[in-house]
Structure 1
Amino acid sequence: MNRIEALNILGLDDDATAQDIKTAYKECVQIFHPDRFAGNKKLQERATEQFKRLQDAYEFLKSGRGSKEASGSARSSRSVSYVEAQLAGLAAARTQLVAQRDALYDERRNAVIMMAVGAAGAILGRRVIWIAGIAGALIVWGIVSVIAACQNISTINDHLKEIDMQKRQLEQDWEED
């Protein structure tokens, strides 16, 4: 990993200060912290991977190995502006969140199917106690899964709204400059 890669992970450009790095890291951690997706193992795994990348980039930059002097590439003109880098970071975060939301939609659909199978099993097997018990467990499991998926979808939609607001604000600031 070099300075530019680490800064790109945080959505920053080459002229970022130590304070910019710290602020960007804190913002990214709030979005991708694995505890926010505790209800969904797949989402939590993806968030954990992204979170590790963020930590590695931040540690690299904080350690001094990613300082401008250490990189040896003091550039007189910027190839990517600060705003463009932030917009790229927001776009990457949005893409990942949309993929996670799509996975949750699939999980919710599967839970509804599980509830329907459980209901059918309960109706058809009502005279056999163990079949009715298993069917009841499927219904309860399906309900819990639907509720968890809906909560996670709602959280992701909130994050997507925040990202869209940040994007609009950055674009407005960029147009004003």
Structure 2
Amino acid sequence: MEATNNLDRIRRQGRLLEIICFVAAVAVVPLVAAYWAAFNLLPADMTRQAADLAASPELPGWVRLLCFLAALVPGAALMVTLLRLRRLFALYTAGRIFTLANVVCFQSVARALFAWAACSILYTPLHGLAVTAANPPGRHMLTLAIGATELALLFVATLAVVIARVMDEARRLDEEAALTV
């Protein structure tokens, strides 16, 4: 009874997380676009980091477009990660927990997390160049930074790789046990 109840909870939670991941993935581009489209209208607290780099606190449309495109680099990686997580939760919804498909999907989530971390690191110099594109000569900025967010993503990606290996080993042992008479 308890195992069935637990599997039912996993299925329900998997379905909820599947929906959340899909909605979040679909929302990335419109939210990033809305931020950069409304950049000049937003309160200073929301724009200070970018505005401090620029020659003027108001960015021309073509600079905001460059900033939007730069933000799509980690945004696209985030979308891929969310869609791969959605696929993983769909497997949970179907009650497929320790299957080869589940392991492969979990490995793809780990790879997507590594890509998201790399794209987040790449975003910093792209953003610096984009936001300072309208600055006068000699005032363009190329920056590079690796912060807590990127390190956390790398750590979570590494955890996902280890968990995928553990899941694969559990799946393999389960298959061997099933074949043993």
TM-score (norm 2): 0.43
TM-score (norm 1): 0.43
Q: Pick 1 or 2: higher relative contact order, CA cutoff 8 A, min separation 6.
A: 2
